[in-house]
Amino acid sequence: MADTVFVVGLGPGDGQFLTGQAGAALEQAQVFCGYTVYLDLVRPLYPDKEYCATGMTRELDRCRHALELAQAGRTVALVCSGDAGVYGMASPLLELAEQFPEVDVEIIPGLTAALSGGAVLGAPLAHDFCVISLSDRLTPWQVIAKRLAAAAMGDFCVALYNPSSKGRPDYLARAVDILLENGKAPDTVCGLVRNIGRPGQSHQVLSLAQLATTPVDMFTTVFIGNAATRQLGGKMVTPRGYRP
């Protein structure tokens, strides 16, 4: 009898960010599938499960293996950091699940970095916002550039994921240029959070002009304010409109 794949968003990593629903799915699962680094986040909490780790860019292999295990009757948790949907495994898993019609799939949401990092900074995304990934592994840079321009034209708050990696150290500076060319002011209040919810978490509030020359790594989430965002006592706060 085929069983279930739970696609589980773990949030930023530490167990305190798991929802009750995610915890129940992990309890119920017999096999945990996922990227090695994410599996290591849950291993201390569930040392007695069966683990099946795959490398970073092996997303489709990971989905197929999870579905094959469920097809054979195992209860499987496919784990993602952050949310299951936002740049997560829910999408490729659901696409591939068409080939496994007997397997049940359940998507379990989790705290994406826009929310968990936003809480560290204060309230950067309290009004309309965009989430944009700067990774061009699966998206042409022209599409990313178009979205950055649109986000600036709409005066959205923005959370930038994957702002840098070894192969593209200058992408954040290029993104800042596009935002400035399309209407964001150089003194727009911005923020960075590194290692959200993990050892060594740190954050910083700075201007958009400063952001262009600030080094970031792949464990950093970048926040860009709208025209009304302010720095208040070291926090980044976007007004909802209420004035004290």
Residue 237 to residues 40, 128, 227, 233, 234: CA-CA distances in angstroms?
34, 13, 11, 10, 10
Tell me: does residue 142 bind a copy of itself (CB under 8 A).
no
The residue type found at 24 is: A
- Measure the N-to-C terminal CA separation of the chain; round to a whole number of Å: 60
How many other C-beta atoms can be found within 10 angstroms of the C-beta atom of residue 170?
A: 10
Q: Which segment (69-77, 150-158, 171-179, 205-213) binds a copy of itself by CB under 8 A?
A: 150-158
Residues 97-136 that bind a copy of itself (CB under 8 A): 97-99, 107-112, 115-116, 118-120, 122-133
CB-nearer residue toward a copy of itself: 158 or 212: 158
Residues 185-244 that bind a copy of itself (CB under 8 A): 232-233, 235, 237-244
The residue type found at 235 is: K
Retrieve residue 137's tokens.
């592994």
- Tell me how far, at minimum, the Cβ of 58 lies from a copy of itself, in Å: 10
Closest CA to 215 of 171, 180, 167, 185: 171
Residues 160-179 that bind a copy of itself (CB under 8 A): none
CB-nearer residue toward a copy of itself: 50 or 104: 104
- Tell me how far, at minimum, the Cβ of 9 lies from a copy of itself, in Å: 8
Retrieve residue 197's tokens.
């919810």
Residues 24-83 that bind a copy of itself (CB under 8 A): 24, 59-60, 63, 83
